[in-house]
Amino acid sequence: MPLFSTKGMLLDAQSKGYAVGAFNANNLEMAQGIVMAAEKENAPVIVQVSQGGAEHGGVEEMAAIIRSLAVKASVPVALHLDHGVDFVYNIRCLRAGFTSLMYDGSNLDFAENVRITRDVVRAAHAVGVPVEAELGKVPKDPTGITLGELQKYLTCPEEAKAFVEQTGVDALAIAVGNMHKMKIKEAKIDLERIKAIRQVVAVPLVLHGASGVPDEAVTAAVKAGICKINVHTQLSKRFTEKIREIFQADPYTVDLRKYLGEAREALMEEVRAKIRLFGANGKAPGVREVAIEPEEYTKQEIVE
């Protein structure tokens, strides 16, 4: 299949009450493992490349790898930029063939986040590509974050409604107690906040930092309205754990095909489990591509 955008995937998930897994890939084997898992589970899948991952593997190179896997895949595969932190990088990924973008302006004030997000949306929608943005702030380092500090990062439902209306984004990543880079499942998710945002925001909602969210909280978050769930740290952890196991068993191993191949298999099983947890298994046949029409924007006064 050709690469899909995330638009149809997330709308299908929203209408049927499941979440699409969005899994980060930093090299060939990780990307292969993700797509292999989706095929085994007959699920739509989003292969993500973060700005850091793209700088490591190359924007055009990672796009080419994932595009080649999608063409041969029997399920819908989307290529998504995860946490693109500036306008120029989003446009670079757009030109490289990414079929979904994310502009992360969560470090900015509301008005500036709106302004740049709207510019990314305008450019992406002109060529039929959806855009995800973030409102609130999902901390990128869970160490030393107190409960009180975490509270000030949470997404406000009223601001979320205004943000979506003023930017035209296709999906919104929200902060509800989730954190990036958590190696232990101990995040406390504010389910009532998800429900409150869902009531005032029509576009699909996204949960970042799911590696640190307990399975029962993930299931509850999907029921509350989450349609896309991002996983990175847990995949990297399992991938490297398997390599470590191989070297501990045989410190003189030099055939990278052996340890990278086994790491790919271990990652694939991790992704399969996540797809089932999110309820996306068996959902591939129902996903259809959804066209995005270029939008006309009028100058708006943004109240700070």
Active-site positions? 82
In angstroms, the Cα distances linking 247 to 28, 183, 233, 238 are 21, 22, 21, 14
Cβ 189 vs Cβ 178: under 8 Å: yes
How far apart are the C-alpha atoms of 269 and 42, rounded to whole Å? 14
Is 247 within 8 Å of 253 (Cβ atoms)? yes
Cα–Cα distance, 146 to 287 (Å, whole number): 41
Rounded to an integer, what distance in angstroms lies between the CA atom of residue 10 and that of residue 132?
Answer: 11
Task: Collect all residues with Cβ–Cβ distance below 8 Å to 52 and sequence separation of at least 6.
Answer: 83
Q: How far apart are the C-alpha atoms of 24 and 80, rounded to whole Å?
A: 9
Strand pairing partners for 84?
103
SS (H, E, C) 2-44: CCECHHHHHHHHHHHCCCEEEEECCCHHHHHHHHHHHHHHCCC
User: Residues 6 or more apart from 59 whose CB is under 8 A from it?
Assistant: 49, 92, 93, 96
Residue whose pair of structure tokens reads 């041969």 in the numeric block: 72
Using CA atoms, how far apart are residues 135 and 198, in angstroms rounded to an integer?
A: 14
Give, in order, the Cα–Cα distances in Å from 138 to each of 105, 123, 179, 275: 11, 25, 5, 22
